[in-house]
Structure 1
Amino acid sequence: MVQDFLGDLGKAVITLLVVIDPIASIPIIMGLTGKMERKQRTSILNVTIITVAILLFVFAFIGSSILSTFGISIFSFMIAGGVLLFLVSIQLLTHGDWTFGNQTLHDESGVVPLAFPLLAGPGALTLVILSFETYGILITVLSIIIVLGITYAILRSVDPIYKLLGKRGSLIITRIFAIIIAAFAVQFVIDGIKQVFH
């Protein structure tokens, strides 16, 4: 019984961690926060993790009902997320940071695009819905908590990287990573369109 529980928990954790893929988000975080102080960057990461937690738990419990009520497909999230990321990449390439009009975004950056669609993207939201239906409430909740802890630890590793690069180096890297973000965006849109017309 315990062995089965641990086995299912392990599967749920590994699958969710692979889908969220926090390591792949490090370049995007560096791109979005390259000109910020450490305190502000930490604040954004905190907002990011809290937002991801809320999204994952909400979708685990009532995700299916939300989507069916509004007639929204998970692939619509994918396409919309791709468009959003592409706009972010354009801002990074032209301004060196993420701005909205004349306002530079601060803690809000932890909500969009870091929390959604990068970490708690369509894949992760769909997965927690399936996990709830497959493994039940306990394993789903535990797997989300464990993955959030691992994700936070990985994202905090950007600080040593910033110390190594310095502000000038970080600004250069920001421009380079903007291209990577654009590639992520295009792939989101392509995958979403493929699934819509599949």
Structure 2
Amino acid sequence: MFELSLKEIVTVSMVLFAVIDIIGSIPVIVDLRSKVGHIHSEKASIVAMFIMITFLFVGEELLHIIGIDVNSFAVAGSFVLFFLALEMILGIRLYRDEEAKTASIVPIAFPLIAGAGTMTTLLSLKSQFHTINIIIAILLNIILVYAVLKSSSKIEKMLGVTGLGIIRKVFGVVLLAIAVKLFAANVKGLFL
């Protein structure tokens, strides 16, 4: 559990970076910020980190206690990602929360950063790598997430409206593909 390994930290960090895909989420973040106003970068990062570390230790047991298997959890997360992707691609608004002052916790911290894909990945990483290395990899990814969230308005200005529109559509398709892949990989497990 407490065996530090730079190789493991780098490997797990890269896997989590690909699954969290914070760079690909920039259009979603910018879009949500334009809908709800300010995003609390610190709060979103801390909540996402807390969710991931907690799930690393008690995720499987928690899902088992409430009668949900990992496959069901992943399929549910794929639906959330699917609808976020549709918003991006079609330019429609499905996520309606008129009372929201911020999107820091939902949908940014969960499920965008610490979503079903991240959770199922953490469970599979736990069986292959030492826990301390996974925790360090989570912390490294959260630092990157915080930096992207904090600079999202600068990124928006740099890309402009047209650039953001193009990126939003492209990453919407990528997010849709991730949702379909997550669904396809886990839906078979529901019927076993």
> What TM-score comes out, normalization by structure 2 length?
0.74
Q: Which of 75, 78, 88 is equivalent to 2:74? A: 78
Moved more, 77-86 or 109-118: 77-86
Q: Which of 113, 121, 126 is equivalent to 2:107? A: 113
Match of 2:31 in 1: 31
Amino acid of the residue matched to residue 117 of structure 2?
G
- Structure 2 CA distance for partners of 1:123 and 1:22, relative to 1, 3 Å: same
User: Where does 1:1-198 land on structure 2 (aligned, <5 Å)?
Assistant: 5-35=5-35, 40-41=38-39, 43=40, 45-88=41-84, 93-94=91-92, 98-100=95-97, 103-107=98-102, 109-164=103-158, 176=169, 180=173, 188-197=182-191
Contact kept? 2:19, 2:117, Cα under 8 Å: yes
Contact kept? 1:81, 1:116, Cα under 8 Å: no
Amino acid of the residue matched to residue 110 of structure 2?
F
Q: Is there any run of 5+ residues in structure 2 with no aligned partner, and where?
A: none
Specify which structure has the higher proportion of helix: 1
Rg comparison, structure with higher value: 1
| CA–CA distance in structure 2, aligned partners of residues 57 and 30 of structure 1 | 26
Residue correspondences, number? 187
Q: Is there any run of 5+ residues in structure 1 with no aligned partner, and where?
A: none
Contact kept? 2:22, 2:145, Cα under 8 Å: yes
Aligned identity (percent) is: 28
CA root-mean-square deviation: 3.4
| CA–CA distance in structure 2, aligned partners of residues 78 and 13 of structure 1 | 21
| CA–CA distance in structure 1, aligned partners of residues 139 and 107 of structure 2 | 21
| CA–CA distance in structure 1, aligned partners of residues 118 and 33 of structure 2 | 24
| CA–CA distance in structure 2, aligned partners of residues 182 and 104 of structure 1 | 27
Amino acid of the residue matched to residue 67 of structure 2?
G
